[in-house]
Amino acid sequence: MLVMSKFCIFAPMSIKENLQHIRQKIQQACQASGRAAESVKLIAVSKTKSAEQIWKAYQAGQRLFGENYVQELLQKQAHPLLHHLEIEWHLIGHLQSNKAKHVVGKVAMIQTVDSVSLAQTLANYAAKRARCVPILLEVNISGENSKHGFKPDEVEEAAKNIFQLRNLELRGLMCIGSPQAPKAKAEFKAMKQLFERLKCLSPQPETFTELSMGMSGDFETAIAEGATIVRIGTAIFGER
């Protein structure tokens, strides 16, 4: 006779359960650092995941989604399961200038602007379409060659130029932390300082409000250091 205890059956958590769990962790991290739970937005990172999986997350109340690749993003937006939903899409992957025209007007925010020339290109398309595009500047805070983004000592000069561009709204900064926890913590701290310095330089400081940092492995640290947007994939949708 086969005896099975229900405690031994492996039951993978559903997307809905994962989301509930993550939201709870975000709330706890906010509480631990004396912040309001509403001060942190959760972006569900759905790269390589199917329209069905995104739909499930949407049914569980998730509205903000992040995609890395323009082609994949546009395909998902047009997917019959998703095109009518009120999803707020964020582009969180590297953007090549020649793809810029495809995303202007299609996403709520482009988080990965990493050069003044890309900002200018986006501003030109935005002007043609009478749009204002919210953007973040990506900072290569870890200094790894493999990563995109402005060097920390280049950001201020770039931001001064980009603040002047009409049709773009520079809303804040974004980074990817190092895999090593203590290093990531120091990087998030440095990002927060950089963020505060640029806020003082902004012609409209009340709109310079977003610090996008923290992923599945380090979002609690990022929240402790001041993240206002966390971008979480694996802990919601499973391994890629």
Query: Applying CB under 6 A, which residues contact ligand PLP?
Result: 45, 47, 68, 92-93, 176, 215-217, 231-235
Least distance in Å: CB of 86 to ligand PLP?
22
CB of 69 to ligand PLP, least distance (A): 10
- In whole angstroms, how close is the CB of 2 to ligand PLP at the nearest point? 37
Given the complex with ligand PLP, which of 126 and 215 has the nearer CB atom?
Answer: 215
Strands 168-174 and 229-232: unpaired
Report the residue number, 40 or 165, with the smaller CB distance to ligand PLP.
40
SS3 2: coil
Q: Are 127 and 162 in contact (CB under 8 A)?
A: no
* Closest residue by beta carbon to ligand PLP: 233
Find the shortest distance in angstroms from Cβ 134 to ligand PLP.
17
Nearer to ligand PLP among residue 17 and residue 157 (C-beta): 17
Closest CA to 211 of 197, 193, 192: 192
Residue 230, classified by CB atoms within 10 Å of its CB into exposed (0-12), middle (13-18) or buried (19+), is: buried
| 98, burial (CB in 10 Å: exposed 0-12, middle 13-18, buried 19+) | exposed
Q: Which is nearer to ligand PLP, 91 or 158 (CB)?
A: 91
